Structure 1
Amino acid sequence: MQKKKSSIGWRNENKHPSLSEVFSSVSVPKQKGIWKKLFAFTGPGLLIAVGYMDPGNWATDISGGAQFGYMLLSVIFISNFFAIILQYLALKLGIVCERDLAQACRDHYPPLISFILWILCEISIAACDLAEIIGSVLALKLLFGIPITWGVLITAIDVLIILFFQYKGFRYIESVVAALIFTILVCFSFEIISSKPEIFSILKGIVPSPEIIKNSHSFYISIGILGATVMPHNLYLHSSIIQTRDYPRTTEGKKMAIKYATIDSTLSLSLAFFINAAILIISAATFHKSGYTEVADIMDAHKLLNPILGSSLSGIFFALALLASGQNSTLTGTLAGQIVMEGFINIKFKPWIRRLITRLIAIVPAMIASIVYGEKGTTELLIVSQIILSIQLSFAIVPLVNFTGDSEKMGPFVNGPILKISAWVITIIIVLLNLFLLYNTFLGRR
C-alpha cells in the first residue's frame, strides 16, 4: 500500500493540525497584491521577536555595555543573524511539512526519544516563564513599589488576560504583542536620545574586534549573549503559528507563504536587534562612560539611570519597557507550551489549564527565592533560567537543521548546499559556546 504524500519521510503520519483552533484562520488574499499579502503574513514574526527581547536578555546586554562600552554590539549583530537563519528554517518546516517542530520530532524519533525531548522542552518553557515572571515582578516594584513577593502573586492574574485575547482570535494576540513591542520601542528611543551615545563608537562596535576574544571576561559575556540569544521555544512556536495563515497547501502556495513569512520574520528580528542593541548602547553611554562598570543587573541599572541622565522619566520608561517585555513574553510562552504538549504527546488541555500548569511551575521557585533571598534571589534566578534555556537549545536546533536538510521530508524545499552548511556551522558554534558557558558557570571560572 502506497504511503500518503504527507507521511513520506516520517515514521508516523501527522493526523492533527498544529494549534487546531486557529489553524488556517487568518485569510490570505488570493489576488497578487504584494502589500496585502505581506500584511496578511505580518504577525508571527513579531511573536517570535518577543523571545529575543525578553527580560532574560537584559542582564547580559546591560553588563556588556557597562563593562566594555559599545564593543559587544558586533556580538548582538552576529547573534541576530544566527536567529534569522534558524527562524527561517522553523517557518519553512511548518509550511512545507505541515508539522510544527514538536510534531516533527514525534513523527520522526522513537517514542522514548520523543518523550525525553518533550520533558526537556517543558523544563525550558518553565525556565522561560520564570524569566518573564521575574521581569514583570521587578517592573512592578520599580513602577509602583510593590514588594517582590506580592508581585509574584500578581503575575498569576495575567492568565485571565491572555485567555481573553486567545478566545478573541489569533489576530488579537498579534495586535496586543505589536502594541507592547511598540511601547518598548518608544521607551528605548527616549532612553537613547537622553543618553546621547557616540554615533562613531556605535558604528565601530558593530564591526567585530579581536579584543573580544583576547579579553577573557568580554569573551565570557559574548558567549552569554550569543549562546542564549536563540530561544528554543521560539523554534517550536514559529513552525506552528505560521500555519495560522490560510494559504494554498500546494507547491506554489507554499513558495508564496515561505517568501512572505521570511520577510515578516526578518523585519521583526531586525526590530529585536535594535531593541537589544539599544539596551547595550544605553548601558555603554551612561554607565561605562560614567565609570559605573560594575553594573550587572536590571535593578542596579534602574537606580543609576535617573541621577546619571538627570531625568526622572528615564527610570519610568526603563521600568515600563521591562513590564511590556515581561508581558509580551508571557503571551508567546503560553502558546509555545500548548504547541509543545500537543505536538510531542498529542494531549490537549484547555488553554487555561495549560497556562496554569506552566505558571505554577515557575511561580513556586520565584516565590521561594523572593521570600528567602528577596530582590537578589530573583535576580539570581534570572541567570539560572538562562542557563536552563542554553542546555535545551541544542535539543531544538539539531532536529530542526536535520529535518530541513532531509530531501525526503522537504522535497523541492530542502536546504541547498550553502544553507545546509551554514545551518550546521551555526548549530555547531551555538552548541560549543553553550557547552563552554555551562562549563565555566558550574566551575565558577570567568
Structure 2
Amino acid sequence: MGKSLEEVHESVSTENKKSVFRKILAFFGPAYLISVGYMDPGNWATDIAGGSQFGYALLWVLLMSNIMALLLQSFSARLGIVTQLDLAQASRATYSKFINYILYFLAEVAIAACDLAEVLGMAIGINLLFDIPLIEGVIITVLDTFLLLFLINKGIRKMEAFIIVLVLIIGVSFIFEMFFAQPELDKVLYGLIPSMPNEAALYIAIGIIGATVMPHNLYLHSSLVQTRKFDRTPKGIKQAIKYNFIDSTIALNLAFFVNAAILILAAATFYKSGMYEVAEIQDAHKFLAPILGTQWAPILFAVALIAAGQSSTVTGTLAGQIIMEGYLNLRIQPWVRRIITRLIAIIPAVIVISIFGEGVTGKLLILSQVILSLQLGFAIIPLIHFVSDKSKMKGFHISRTTQIAGWTVALIIVSLNAKLVYDEIKGWLEISENPIVLWLTVVPLAFAFLVLLLYIIFKPFVSKTKIDIQNHSPHNLKLKFSESGTFTQKNIAVTVDFSDSDEVALNTAFELGGKAAEYTLIHIVETVGAMIHGEKVDDHETLIDAKLLNEYKEMLTEKGFTVNTKLGFGDPAKTIPTIINKENFDILVMGTHGHTGFKDLIFGTTVDKLRHKISIPLLIVKN
C-alpha cells in the first residue's frame, strides 16, 4: 500500500515562521531539484571533453553559463511566483495553437535529449561499478521509472531531501577527487579569462552551455516555486522572489562547483599527461587510477556518476508533465509519461550502441547537450517577454537593466547556436555527394526554425495577449435542465469536470432529486502540483477550477437548487471515495469520461477504481 492521501498531498507552508532563518528555510528546496539538471551526466561528457582537449581554457564558459543559468532561473521563479503560471501555460496564453504545438514539440525534444544523457550516464556508472554490459545497463534504467511516483507519495519535502543527499554525494566525491588530482591553481584562475582556442572548442563550448542552461528546467522551476504557500500581498510576493533567488544562488553555485571540478579533474590529469583525446566517461574512469595512483578515484567517480544520473532522472517526468499540461492541456498517468519519456531515450541509445559500439557514448552525450542548447532560444525568449511585461507581472516585472542582461544572454546563446548550425550545414554540403537532398530538406528546415525564432521574438511587441487561461472548457456554463414528476433521492453527489458531460450528469441528478434535494458538486484538480501538495496547492489551474465550481453553484442556486461544492486534489479514483465516504450521500452521479480501451490505459479510469471504494449506489451517465 502507498502512503495515505494526506501524505501524498503534503504541502510546504512558509507562513507563521517565528524566525527569519526558518522563513528562508521554508522556501529552500525547489532550486535543488533544478540544480541536478545542471550536473547530470551530459555535463560530465562536455566537461571531460573540454578539460582533456583544452585544459583549463574553457573554465570561463562554465562560469558564464552558471551566471546565465542563475539569471534565467530567477526569471522562471519570478514568473511562477507572480502569475501562478508556469512557462508552458504562459506560452499557451500568448501564442497561437499552431505555434504552441511547435514549441511543445521542441520542448519534448529537449526532454528526450536530457533523458538520453541520464540513461547513458546511469548505464555507464552501472557498467563501471558492476561490470554489467552497457546495453543491459541502459535497459536496467527502465526500473527507475517508478522512483518518482514513490517519492511523490512521500511528499515534496522528502523528495527534496532525497535529491539533496544525492547532490551531497556528488559534491563530496569531487572534493576527494580534487585532493587526489592537485590542480595548478594559477592555471585554474587563468582559465577564467575568456578565450576560444579553435572551432572544435566552440562546439564543446556550445555543448557546455546546453548542458548548463537547461531549457526544461525553466519550465520546471516556474512550477516548483508554486509549491510554497505564502501571503500573496505585494510584500509577501516580494519576499518570496527574494528568498527563491537566494535558494537558486546557493543551489546553482553548488552545481557550478561540480562542473568545474569535473573539467579541472580532466585538465589536471588527461590534458597534463598529453591524453587530449579522452572524451568518453569510460576512458576517464579507466585512466584515473594509474594517473592519480589510487583506486578510490575511479570508484568515487562512478558513484558520483550514478548519483548524478539518478537525481536528474527524478525531475524529468515532472518537467515533461508540466510541459504537456501547459501546452496541450493534456494529462496522462505519471507512470505512462515516465515510460514514454524513458523509451524515447532508450531506443535510440540501444540502436546506436548496437551498431557503432560502446565507444560512441561520449559523442552521444555531447550531441544531446548541443540539442538542448539549440532549443534554448525557444524557451528563453518567451520567458524574457513574460517577465518584462508590466501588466502580466502585476508590477513585479524585471527592471530595464535586467531586461538588457536577459536579452544579452539570449543574443549570446542564439548567436552561438546560429554559427554552429551554419558551420554544420556548410560542412555537410561540402562533403555530401548529393547536396541537392540537403538543400531540399535540412536548409529549408533550418530556415523555418529561424522564421519561428523571429516570430516569437517580435510577436509580443506587435500584439499583447492577456493571460487568462481556463484549463477546462466550461462551454460558457450554458446548461439546460429538465425536471421529472417523481423524486426519490434527497442528498445527491455529482462529479463535474467542466466538459459537455456535466450537462447530462446534472440533468440526470435533477431528475432523481428535483429542487427538494441537496446537491454536492465534486471536482478534482489533477495537476502535478495538486498531486504533490494537495489542498495547499496554490497554482493557476486550482484558482480557475475553484472559480468555475463557484459559478456552477451560483447559477444553479439562482435556478432554485440547493447546491454545495467540494474541490478535491490529486488522483480522482482516490479523492472522490474519500469525499463520498465522509458524507451521508444517497447516490453518486458521474458522467462518462469519453474514452475506452487503450485510452483508459493512457489517461486512467476513475469509475472502475472507485466503485468498490464507496458504499452508496453509483450512477454512470453516458454523454
Give the aligned residue type for 1:171.
R
> Could you tell me how far apart the structure 1 residues matched to 2:415 and 2:49 are?
22
> Could you tell me how far apart the structure 1 residues matched to 2:103 and 2:31 are?
25
Give the aligned residue type for 1:230.
V
Rg bigger for which structure? 2
Q: Bigger CA drift: 138-147 or 53-62?
A: 53-62
- Equivalent of 1:253 in 201, 212, 236: 236
Please say if 1:290 is aligned against 2:268: no
CA deviation string 1:86-108 (max 9, x = no partner): 00000000001110001111111
CA deviation string 1:51-78 (max 9, x = no partner): 1111111122112211222222111111
Matched residue, 2:131:
145
CA deviation string 1:361-399 (max 9, x = no partner): 111111212322231243332233223212211110010
TM superposition shift of 1:22: 8.1
TM-aligned CA distance change 1:166 to 1:374, over 3 Å: farther
Give the aligned residue type for 1:248.
D
TM superposition shift of 1:23: 8.5
TM superposition shift of 1:216: 3.8
> Could you tell me how far apart the structure 2 residues matched to 1:306 and 1:443 are?
42
Whether the aligned pair in 2 keeps the contact of 1:134 and 1:379 (CA below 8 Å) is: no
- Equivalent of 2:285 in 299, 302, 307: 302
TM-aligned CA distance change 1:332 to 1:282, over 3 Å: same
> Could you tell me how far apart the structure 1 residues matched to 2:77 and 2:8 are?
16
Please say if 1:177 is aligned against 2:163: yes
- Equivalent of 2:400 in 417, 428, 436: 417
> Could you tell me how far apart the structure 1 residues matched to 2:360 and 2:56 are?
29
Matched residue, 1:436:
419
TM-aligned CA distance change 1:22 to 1:438, over 3 Å: farther
TM-aligned CA distance change 1:24 to 1:246, over 3 Å: farther
> TM (normalized to structure 2)?
0.66
> Could you tell me how far apart the structure 1 residues matched to 2:17 and 2:350 are?
53
Matched residue, 1:240:
223
> Could you tell me how far apart the structure 2 residues matched to 1:370 and 1:167 are?
35
Matched residue, 1:8:
none
> Could you tell me how far apart the structure 1 residues matched to 2:277 and 2:202 are?
16
TM superposition shift of 1:187: 0.9
> Could you tell me how far apart the structure 2 residues matched to 1:132 and 1:57 are?
10
Please say if 1:392 is aligned against 2:375: yes
CA deviation string 1:93-149 (max 9, x = no partner): 000111000111111111111121111111211111111000101111111001111
Matched residue, 2:74:
88
Please list, as runs of the form range in 1=range in 2, the aligned pairs for 1:120-269 lying within 5 A after superposition. 120-206=106-192, 208-209=193-194, 212-213=195-196, 215-269=198-252
TM superposition shift of 1:359: 1.1
> Could you tell me how far apart the structure 1 residues matched to 2:8 and 2:30 are?
13
> Could you tell me how far apart the structure 2 residues matched to 1:22 and 1:422 are?
40
Please say if 1:60 is aligned against 2:42: no
> Could you tell me how far apart the structure 2 residues matched to 1:314 and 1:228 are?
24
> Could you tell me how far apart the structure 2 residues matched to 1:334 and 1:172 are?
17
Whether the aligned pair in 2 keeps the contact of 1:23 and 1:243 (CA below 8 Å) is: no
Whether the aligned pair in 2 keeps the contact of 1:55 and 1:135 (CA below 8 Å) is: yes
Percent identity of paired positions between Structure 1 and Structure 2: 54
TM-aligned CA distance change 1:357 to 1:375, over 3 Å: same
CA deviation string 1:414-437 (max 9, x = no partner): 111100111001101111112222
Whether the aligned pair in 2 keeps the contact of 1:148 and 1:375 (CA below 8 Å) is: yes
Give the aligned residue type for 2:115.
D
| Structure 2: segments with no counterpart, 5+ residues | 1-6, 429-623
TM superposition shift of 1:287: 0.9
> Could you tell me how far apart the structure 2 residues matched to 1:219 and 1:430 are?
12
Give the aligned residue type for 1:135.
G
Please say if 1:342 is aligned against 2:333: no
> Could you tell me how far apart the structure 1 residues matched to 2:42 and 2:421 are?
16
Whether the aligned pair in 1 keeps the contact of 2:210 and 2:369 (CA below 8 Å) is: no
> TM (normalized to structure 1)?
0.91
Give the aligned residue type for 2:395.
P
> Could you tell me how far apart the structure 2 residues matched to 1:125 and 1:219 are?
24
Please say if 1:43 is aligned against 2:29: yes
Give the aligned residue type for 1:336.
A
